[in-house]
Amino acid sequence: MTYRVCFVCTGNICRSPMAESVFRARLAEAGLGDRVEADSAGTGGWHEGEAADPRTVRILEEHGYDAEHVARRFQPSWFARLDLVIALDLSHLTALRRLAPTEEDARKVRLLRSYDPSAADDLDVPDPYYGGPDGFEECLEMVEAASTGLLAEVRERLEGRAA
């Protein structure tokens, strides 16, 4: 059975596609690409059907990640098929938990940086959209740091399913 993770930010053109791409690379490196599906979405539909922001594409490609992406809006019905819904900041966490049809679904929603032990109290990945290239680089660093811990948890959950 496939384990499914969806990363969610505001418009699905900066942070969440970046997190999806980095996590897919981590899954491939770990040999889990055939057991775990990663995708992304936005809480809003402003950019549906669009590619990722060109700055996101540039930073991903510069670091060797796949940058192919088409934006879409998160749908509450998806909770039924998802194992984890990863919010990129507290506003997404709140919005997603409100959309969750059940308490069990609401418990599937987690903040990405909660998987990074060095994140301390600030668990938001800041939106780089209105800034310059440094913001996209910072965003990528945060996503990469948290992806290691997320991968460890997903691996643990997969092992629990097999037991």
Q: Which residues are catalytic?
A: 9, 15, 127
Helices (H), 111-132: none
Question: Do 92 and 16 touch, CB atoms closer than 8 A?
Answer: no
What is the helix (H) or strand (E) element at residue 162, kind and residue range? helix 133-162
The C-alpha atoms of residue 46 and residue 38 are separated, in whole angstroms, by 22
Query: For residue 21, what are the CA distances in angstroms to 26, 32, 162?
Result: 9, 14, 26
Cross-strand pairs, 110: 86
